[in-house]
Each structure stands twice: as C-alpha cells, then as structure tokens.
C-alpha cells in the first residue's frame, strides 16, 4: 500500500524546501480545485482531496514533516493519532473538519440565519381524511420586524464595524485538531455574526429583527392521508434573522376515530347489523359511507360475516393511482323469542324449514377470514 503512495510534495506540487506558507497556499489551491461544489461529477475528486489533505497534515507540522523527510511514508505509518480520512461521513464533513465550517470561498461570516421550522398539529375527522379538506390554521409565528424591516435597528441608524471580530462576523480560534494546528471559524458573539454594531436598536424587536406575530395559513390536506402523517409547507415557518430564509411549517395530521368506520389500508370497513328476519328474507338497506349514504342489497339467507363490497368508496392512494373499496360486514342479530306469540311462531318456523333451507355455503369463520386480511 505504502509503495503506491505518491510523494507528498508532488501531491501538493511544491518544492521540498517550500516553507509553511507555500505549503498552506498550495493545499488551499488544491482543495479549491477539488471541492465537491466545483467537481460534482468527478468521482476521483474525493480521493484526490483526501490525498492532498493527508499530505497537508503531514507537511504542515514540523515534527511529522521531519519524520517524512527522513524516512518517507514508512516513517509515518506507525505514528499514533494519524487521521483516517475514510472516517469522515461525507466529503463535506471532511471539508468542514479541515476548514472549520469553511470559508475557503469567502462564504463564511454570513450574517443571516435560516428561520426555525414550526410544527403544528391539526385534527380532522375520519370522513375528511377520506375526501380531503382545507383547514385554516391560526398560530404564533415569528416574522421579520415590520418597524425596522428585519435589520434590528431603525432605518438611518449609523452602524459601526464590530470591534471584536473586526467586522468579519467570525472569530478565528486556533486549535489542535487531527491535522495539527488548524483554524476554526466561529460566529462572533458580540455582533451575532453580522460584523456590524448599530448605535441604536429597534425598540420594537429589541434588535432581534424578528417579532412574534399571529399568523394564519390554509393547509390543503389531501384525501387518503393517514393519521400521524406530516405535511410540509416550505417557507411557512419562522422568518429568518436579518433577511435569512424562512423555516418550514410541518403540519401533523391526526385523524379522529369514527364509530361507524375503520380503515384497512385503502379500504373503509363498516359493520351492518341486520335482524335475522330481514337476513332470511333478503332486503335493501341504507349504509353510511364516507361519500354519503349508499343502498346495499342483501340476498335472502344472508349470513353473519358476509361482506358486501362497494367498489371505489374507500381511500384514494396518496401516491399513484387507485382507490380503495368500502367493505360492509354483515352482522345478523338474533333476538330472543320471549313472548308466547313469538315462541309459537318460531316453533312453527322450525317445523316449516327443512334441511334444504340451510344451504351449506361455508361456516361463519370461513366468511370472517376475509374481513381482517
């Protein structure tokens, strides 16, 4: 493995007698060339960057550089604390480790921050979850301050550069990391990263640039949504600070139970109680569905556990095509024959109905097998 390693000076493209500054500059130039933003389609960029980072790690520390100069790659292989560049989750993580959150393109020190996401729960009925509904939401958000336009100070206020960070918005901390000494940039606490300190603060937002504001939003809840699913409304969260982008709004939808129905994937299921006499004679019954009342025909001799399917009266699939059914499960109610009259009629019926009246079409449990699938 070590045999195949390229010379570190060659990797960075510097002379063997290059000084620290030349090495640093060479590495930054190399890193800039190999940055994933610049080379999104180059699969070798990452490994080439790792190679350069490794070379820089060794050559930027006098101790390891001396070791390398004397013994080459072999002299370093047993060194404790060597960085394994493959330990980084992503190329970006690696960059962040090297450049401390990285302003190598001068993008650091941005004074604006993205607004926080906002979560809100909304409760809808079972029927609404099947047919879809628009819901007006009212909640407290954070908006850009209207008095100062989100700047945090009244218009026209003189603004001085921040003394703490010299107007950079960042303070640099030199620390000892996996690459030897490196510089980590942190947001300046004195100016919250803006690099500027106004002489007066906005009295409405106390310099925050943001204020609590009651807000309304109409969210469109699609038919077919499951309880607990979230709808993301991009940009409807809290306002960002000092002109930063707003966060998102997450609406968690809770579907209330309905005593008449339950849900089985895309199907609506309901239970239909039928008196035994109607089940024997056959009948037509009105049945509630999520789309309103439907008429259901029961044949003579309808059994408990039989199901009647109303095609397309269920939930639509959220993605793609398809619509579930409404399954009506028949529950034949058997009364007591307590009065003398009732007993007499049932006894008479017992005599009248012969074996053939009890047509064998499977048992009760066979029928119920299809109910909970």
Q: Kind of pairing, strands 159-161 and 180-187?
A: unpaired
Q: Which is nearer to Zn ion, 38 or 190 (CB)?
A: 190
Q: Which residue stretch of 138-146, 257-265, 314-322, 331-339 sits at the interface with Zn ion (rule: CB under 5 A)?
A: 138-146
Among 58, 148, 249, 310, binds Zn ion (CB under 5 A): 148
CB of residue 152 to Zn ion, shortest distance in Å: 6
58 binds Zn ion (CB under 5 A): no
Structural tokens at position 224 = 């077919």
CB of residue 184 to Zn ion, shortest distance in Å: 16
**Cα–Cα distance measured from residue 104 to residue 28, given in angstroms and rounded to the nearest whole number:** 8
CA-to-CA dists, residue 216 to 114, 120, 213, 240, 249, angstroms: 21, 12, 10, 18, 12
Number of residues that bind Zn ion (CB under 5 A): 12
Neighbours of 67 (CB within 10 A): 16
Token pair 């709004």 is found at 249
307 binds Zn ion (CB under 5 A): no
- Please name the helix (run of DSSP H) or strand (run of DSSP E) that holds residue 181, with its range, or none: strand 180-187
Among 52, 58, 187, 191, binds Zn ion (CB under 5 A): 191
CB of residue 102 to Zn ion, shortest distance in Å: 19
188 binds Zn ion (CB under 5 A): yes
Alpha-helical (H) ranges within 147-200 are: none
Q: Which is nearer to Zn ion, 190 or 254 (CB)?
A: 190
269 binds Zn ion (CB under 5 A): no
**Cα–Cα distance measured from residue 331 to residue 223, given in angstroms and rounded to the nearest whole number:** 29
Site for Zn ion in 165-184 (CB under 5 A): 165
Distance of CA 250 to the CA centre of its chain: 9
Among residues 332, 197, 211, 213, the alpha carbon closest in space to that of 278 is found at: 332
328 binds Zn ion (CB under 5 A): no
Among 145, 225, 255, 279, binds Zn ion (CB under 5 A): 145
Among 162, 255, 272, 298, binds Zn ion (CB under 5 A): 162
**Cα–Cα distance measured from residue 36 to residue 88, given in angstroms and rounded to the nearest whole number:** 15
3 state SS of 36: coil
Q: Which residue stretch of 188-196, 212-220, 289-297, 360-368 sits at the interface with Zn ion (rule: CB under 5 A)?
A: 188-196
Q: Which residue stretch of 46-54, 186-194, 276-284, 287-295 sits at the interface with Zn ion (rule: CB under 5 A)?
A: 186-194
CB of residue 236 to Zn ion, shortest distance in Å: 21
Among 205, 221, 246, 310, binds Zn ion (CB under 5 A): 205
For residue 120, what are the β-bridge partners?
251
The residue count of the chain comes to 373
Residues that bind Zn ion (CB under 5 A): 145, 147-148, 162, 164-165, 188, 190-191, 202, 204-205
């Amino acid at each position: 493995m070590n045999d195949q390693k390229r010379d570190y000076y060659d990797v960075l493209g510097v002379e063997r007698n290059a000084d620290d500054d030349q090495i640093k500059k060479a590495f930054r130039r190399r890193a800039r060339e190999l940055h994933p933003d610049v080379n999104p389609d180059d699969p070798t960029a990452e490994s080439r960057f790792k190679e350069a980072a490794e070379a820089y790690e060794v050559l930027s520390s006098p101790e390891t550089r001396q070791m390398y100069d004397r013994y080459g790659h072999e002299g370093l292989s047993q060194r404790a604390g060597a960085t394994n560049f493959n330990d980084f989750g992503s190329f970006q993580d690696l960059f962040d480790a090297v450049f401390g959150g990285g302003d190598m393109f001068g993008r650091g020190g941005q004074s604006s921050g993205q607004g926080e996401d906002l979560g809100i729960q909304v409760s809808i009925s079972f029927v609404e979850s099947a047919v879809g509904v628009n819901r007006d939401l009212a909640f407290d958000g954070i908006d850009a301050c209207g008095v100062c336009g989100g700047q945090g100070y009244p218009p026209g206020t003189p603004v001085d550069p921040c003394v703490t960070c010299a107007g950079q918005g960042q303070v640099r901390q030199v620390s000892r990391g996996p690459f030897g000494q490196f510089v980590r940039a942190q947001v300046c606490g004195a100016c919250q990263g803006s690099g500027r300190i106004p002489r007066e603060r906005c009295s409405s937002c106390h310099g925050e640039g943001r204020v609590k504001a009651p807000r309304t939003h109409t969210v469109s809840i699609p038919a077919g949504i499951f309880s607990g699913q979230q709808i993301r409304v991009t940009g409807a969260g809290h306002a960002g600070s000092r002109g930063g982008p707003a966060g998102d709004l997450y609406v968690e939808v809770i579907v209330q139970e309905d005593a008449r129905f339950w849900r089985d994937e895309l199907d609506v299921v309901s239970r239909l109680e039928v008196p035994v006499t109607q089940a024997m004679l056959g009948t037509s019954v009105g049945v509630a569905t999520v789309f309103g009342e439907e008429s259901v025909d029961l044949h003579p001799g309808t059994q408990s556990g039989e199901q009647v399917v109303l095609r397309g009266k269920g939930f639509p699939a959220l993605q793609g095509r398809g619509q579930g059914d409404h399954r009506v499960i028949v529950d034949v109610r058997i009364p007591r024959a307590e009065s003398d009259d009732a007993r007499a009629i049932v006894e008479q019926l017992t005599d009248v109905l012969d074996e053939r009246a009890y047509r064998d079409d499977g048992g009760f449990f066979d029928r119920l097998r299809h109910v909970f699938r």
